[in-house]
Amino acid sequence: MYSQMNAPQKRLSKDAVKVWIISEMIMNLIGFMILGVLLYLDYRFSWKEWIGWILIGITAISVLGLAWSFTSPFLLYKNWRYDVDEEFLQLKSGVIYEEHQLVPMTKIQSVATKQGPLLRKYGLCSISIETMGSSHTIPALSKDVAIKLRNQIARYAKIKEVES
Whether 147 maps to a domain, the answer reads yes
- Asked whether 136 and 89 are in contact (CB, 8 A), the reply is yes
Boundary of a domain, candidates 49, 77, 105:
77
- The residue among 22, 72, 47, 29 whose CA lies nearest residue 56 is 47
Q: 145 and 113: one domain?
A: yes
Measured in degrees and rounded to the nearest 5, phi and psi for residue 134 equal: -155, 170
Question: How many residues comprise the chain?
Answer: 164
User: Which of 34, 59, 77 delimits the end of a domain?
Assistant: 77
Q: Are residues 112 and 57 in the same domain?
A: no
Check residue 163 and give its pLDDT.
39
The domain boundary residue, chosen from 77, 103, 130:
77
Tens digit of pLDDT per residue, the chain (164 long)? 455 678 899 999 999 999 999 999 999 999 999 999 999 999 999 999 999 999 999 999 999 999 999 999 999 999 999 999 999 999 999 988 999 999 999 999 999 999 999 999 999 999 999 999 999 999 999 999 999 999 999 999 986 544 33
Query: Which three-class secondary structure state does DSSP give residue 102?
Result: strand
Alpha-carbon distance of 84 to 70, in angstroms, equals 30
Same domain, 22 and 65: yes
Whether 98 and 63 map to the same domain: the answer is: no
pLDDT at 96: 86
Give the number of domains in the chain: 2
Q: Identify whether residues 137 and 73 lie together within a single domain.
A: no
Asked, for residue 132, whether it belongs to a domain, the answer is yes
The domain containing residue 21 runs over which residues? 15-77
Question: Roughly what angle, to the nearest 10 degrees, separates helices 15-45 and 49-79?
Answer: 180
Q: Give CA separation, 34 vs 41, 49, 50, 101, 154, in Å.
A: 11, 19, 18, 37, 43
